[in-house]
Structure 1
Amino acid sequence: MIKQGLSLVIASLLSSGALAQTVPAKQTSNTWYKQGQEKIIEKLQQQRSVKAKNVILFVGDGMGVSTLTAARILDGQLKGEMGEEGYLSFEKFPYSALVKTYNVDAQTPDSAGTMTAMISGLKSDAGVIGVNEDVVRGNCASTKGNEVVTALELAEIRGLSTGIISTARITHATPAAVYAKSADRNWEDISDMSITENPERAECEDIASQLINFESNLESRFKGVDVNGIEVVMGGGRRHFLPKDATFNSIDAVSSIEGDRTDDRNLVTEWQEKYPEGTYIVDKAGFDSIDADSTKQVFALFNESHMQYEADRENDIAGEPSLAEMTSKAIDVLDNNEKGFFLTIESGRIDHAHHAGNAKGALLDTIELSKAVQAAVDATNEEDTLIIVTADHSHVFTIAGYPKRGNPILGKVVAVGSEEPSLASDGMPYTTVGYANGLGYRDLGNETDSDAAYSEGAMAGRVDLSAVDTTANGFHQETTVPLGSETHAGEDISVHAIGPSAHLIQGTVEQSVIFHLINRALGLVE
Structure 2
Amino acid sequence: MYGLRLVVFFVFYLTLAQSSLRKDQEYWKQLSTNELEEALAVKWNLGEAKNVILFVGDGMGPNTVTATRILKGGEGHRLTYEKFPHIGLLKTYSANKMVPDSTSTATALFCGVKVNFYTMGVDASVEYKDCNASLKPEARLDSLAALALKAGKSAGFVTTMRVTHATPGPLYAHSASRLWECDSALPRDSACKDVGRQLVEDWPGRDLHVILGGGRQGLVANATDRPMDPISSWGCSRSDGRDLINQYKRDKEARGLKYSVITNAAELKNIDENSDYLLGIFSNAHMPYEFERNKEPQGPPSIVQMTEAAIKVLKKNKNGFFLMVEGGNIDMAHHRGRARTAVDESLAMEEAVSIAVNMTSEKDTLIVVTSDHTHTLSINGYPERGSDIFGTTGPSKYDGLNYTTLTYGVGGPGSNKLKVQTDPTRIVRTDPATEDTTSFMYEQAAAITNDENIHGGGDVAVYARGPHAHLFHNVHEQHYVFHAISYAAKIGVYSKATTQYNNISVCLLTLVLGFMFRIIN
Aligning the two structures, in what range does the TM-score lie when normalised by the shorter sequence? 0.7 to 0.9
- 1:474-518 deviations in Å (ceiling 9; x for gaps): 211111211111010011010000000001101100001100111
Alignment-derived partner of residue 264 in structure 1 = 241
1:230 aligns with 2:208: yes
Alignment-derived partner of residue 511 in structure 1 = 478
**Structure 2: gaps spanning 5 or more residues:** 1-22, 417-426, 495-521
Alignment-derived partner of residue 455 in structure 1 = none
Q: Matches of residues 71-470 of structure 1 in structure 2 within 5 Å?
A: 71-76=68-73, 83-143=74-134, 144=136, 145-195=138-188, 199=189, 201=190, 203-215=191-203, 229-243=207-221, 245=222, 253-255=229-231, 260-276=237-253, 277-291=258-272, 293-314=273-294, 318-413=298-393, 422-441=395-414, 462-470=429-437
Note if contact 2:59-2:372 (Cα within 8 Å) is conserved in structure 1: yes
Structure 1 residues 478, 44: CA separation in 2 closer, same or farther (over 3 Å shift)? same
Structure 1 residues 403, 338: CA separation in 2 closer, same or farther (over 3 Å shift)? same
Separation of aligned partners in 1, 2:409 and 2:195? 33
Letter in 1 for 2:118: G
Separation of aligned partners in 2, 1:255 and 1:503? 45
Note if contact 1:441-1:463 (Cα within 8 Å) is conserved in structure 2: no
SS of 1:311's partner is coil
Separation of aligned partners in 2, 1:331 and 1:162? 10
Aligned-residue offset at 1:275: 1.4
Aligned-residue offset at 1:440: 4.9
Structure 1 residues 475, 503: CA separation in 2 closer, same or farther (over 3 Å shift)? same
Aligned-residue offset at 1:322: 1.1
Aligned-residue offset at 1:46: 2.2
Letter in 1 for 2:275: T
Aligned-residue offset at 1:436: 1.1
Note if contact 2:91-2:476 (Cα within 8 Å) is conserved in structure 1: yes
Alignment-derived partner of residue 63 in structure 2 = 66
Alignment-derived partner of residue 42 in structure 2 = 46
Separation of aligned partners in 2, 1:461 and 1:475? 19
**Structure 1: gaps spanning 5 or more residues:** 1-26, 77-82, 219-227, 414-420, 444-459
Note if contact 1:252-1:318 (Cα within 8 Å) is conserved in structure 2: no
- 1:404-428 deviations in Å (ceiling 9; x for gaps): 1011110011xxxxxxx63442122
Separation of aligned partners in 1, 2:374 and 2:429? 24
Separation of aligned partners in 2, 1:86 and 1:259? 41
Note if contact 2:415-2:446 (Cα within 8 Å) is conserved in structure 1: no
Separation of aligned partners in 1, 2:480 and 2:36? 26
Note if contact 2:184-2:236 (Cα within 8 Å) is conserved in structure 1: no
SS of 1:255's partner is coil
Aligned-residue offset at 1:467: 2.5
Separation of aligned partners in 2, 1:338 and 1:363? 37
Note if contact 1:108-1:489 (Cα within 8 Å) is conserved in structure 2: yes
Higher deviation after alignment, 309-318 or 330-339: 309-318
Aligned-residue offset at 1:250: 7.5
The percentage of aligned residue pairs carrying the same residue is 37
- 1:333-384 deviations in Å (ceiling 9; x for gaps): 1110010000000000100100000000000000011100000000000000
Structure 1 residues 518, 461: CA separation in 2 closer, same or farther (over 3 Å shift)? farther
Note if contact 1:461-1:480 (Cα within 8 Å) is conserved in structure 2: no
SS of 2:429's partner is coil
Note the aligned Cα RMSD (angstroms).
2.3
Aligned-residue offset at 1:461: 7.7
Alignment-derived partner of residue 79 in structure 1 = none
Separation of aligned partners in 1, 2:399 and 2:25? 45
SS of 1:476's partner is coil
Letter in 1 for 2:192: C
Alignment-derived partner of residue 10 in structure 1 = none
Letter in 2 for 1:146: A
Letter in 2 for 1:284: A
Structure 1 residues 317, 338: CA separation in 2 closer, same or farther (over 3 Å shift)? closer
Note if contact 2:231-2:285 (Cα within 8 Å) is conserved in structure 1: no
- 1:309-345 deviations in Å (ceiling 9; x for gaps): 1111137894111111111111111110010000000
- 1:405-464 deviations in Å (ceiling 9; x for gaps): 011110011xxxxxxx63442122211001111115479xxxxxxxxxxxxxxxx98312
Name the TM-score, length of structure 2 as normaliser: 0.83
Note if contact 1:108-1:488 (Cα within 8 Å) is conserved in structure 2: yes
Separation of aligned partners in 1, 2:118 and 2:236? 24
Letter in 2 for 1:162: A
Name the TM-score, length of structure 1 as normaliser: 0.82
Higher deviation after alignment, 127-136 or 471-480: 471-480
Letter in 2 for 1:234: L
Note if contact 1:188-1:240 (Cα within 8 Å) is conserved in structure 2: yes
SS of 1:312's partner is coil
Alignment-derived partner of residue 422 in structure 2 = none
